Structure 1
Amino acid sequence: MNETTTIQKLSLYERLGKREGITSLVDDIVEAHMNNPVVKPRFEPYRNQADNLKLIKAHTVDFFCAGTGGLEQYTGRDMLAAHKGMNISEEEFIAVLDDILQVLDQHGIDADSRKDVLAIAYSLKDNIIRV
């Protein structure tokens, strides 16, 4: 069995490094958002809201874990409720996806896993953009 076959048999949760790996990814993704000029105005204010930022990251980790095959349960709002009234543009959505893919690449996540994450994230588009 070659390495590609072994990777394909693992869940996306396992390929992302389980909860520990996903937590590290989320930390870096949020930091990337805070430095991305397109979405920085939405994320930068959280730098001064430590408790709120910690809660947002925890919900995001649980969301990623539950959505990729982990046993964690996500108890936050659904994507439509979480983004309602934010009037997020297509440009902002794409910028967030770009940040996610860049961080996955920086963490050495394989191409198939990056594609899987992108497919999941893109499937949420209609619940995020201009709702």
Structure 2
Amino acid sequence: MKTLFERLGGSEGISKIVDGVVEAHMNNPSINVRFFPYMETPEKLSEIKRHTVEFFSAGSGGPVEYKGRDMPTAHRGMNITHAEYMHAIDDIFQVLDKHQIDQSAKAEVLSILWSLKDMIIAR
């Protein structure tokens, strides 16, 4: 059976998904204010994308080592609300649909996202 990493398209597929999710977040009026500052610091946005690709690649069974900060540290001081987290999940699933990711893989992604919720919300 293929790993989630493989079903998401490997490093290349996950990179495309992350690019799409960032674009979706930038266009989502419910959360885009959190992402606008990165438009002025493209190097920071690039770093965040790289860490996100590493995180999801490693967490989905890929041969990748995540070298970024842990989730509570990365989101400390952001005070992300439950509603904002749900908007972010909606964006992620719209992008997964756009990339024709199957239901089984989407269920696994949702499980991962839900397991991270308490490490991200209200930090």
Structure 2 counterpart of 1:36, one-letter code? N
Counterpart mapping for 1:102-113 below 5 A: 102-113=94-105
> Is 1:68 aligned with 2:60?
yes
Secondary structure at 2:77 match in 1: coil
What are the superposed Cα offsets for residues 9-63 of structure 1, whole Å, 9 maximum, x if unpaired? 1100000000000000000000000111111000122122111111000000000
Aligned partner letter, 1:22: I
Structure 1 residue 98, shift from structure 2 partner: 0.4
Q: Can you give the 5+ residue segments of structure 2 that lack an aligned partner in the other structure?
A: none
What TM-score comes out, normalization by structure 2 length? 0.98
Of the two, which has the highest radius of gyration? 1
Distance 1:49 1:101 in 2: 26
Alignment of 1:1-131 (within 5 A): 9-131=1-123
CA–CA separation in structure 1 for the residues paired with 2:106 and 2:77: 29
In the alignment, structure 1 segments of 5+ residues that lack a partner are 1-8
Counterpart of 1:4 in structure 2 is: none
Q: Provide TM-score, normalisation by structure 1.
A: 0.92
| CA–CA distance in structure 1, aligned partners of residues 78 and 38 of structure 2 | 16
Which deviations, in whole Å up to 9, do the C-alpha atoms of 1:55-101 show, x marking residues without a partner? 00000000010000001110100000001111100000000000001
Deviations 1:77-126 (A, max 9, x none): 00000011111000000000000011000000001101110110110000
**Percent identical residues:** 53
How far apart, in 2, do the equivalents of 1:54 and 1:93 lie? Answer: 21
Aligned residues: 123
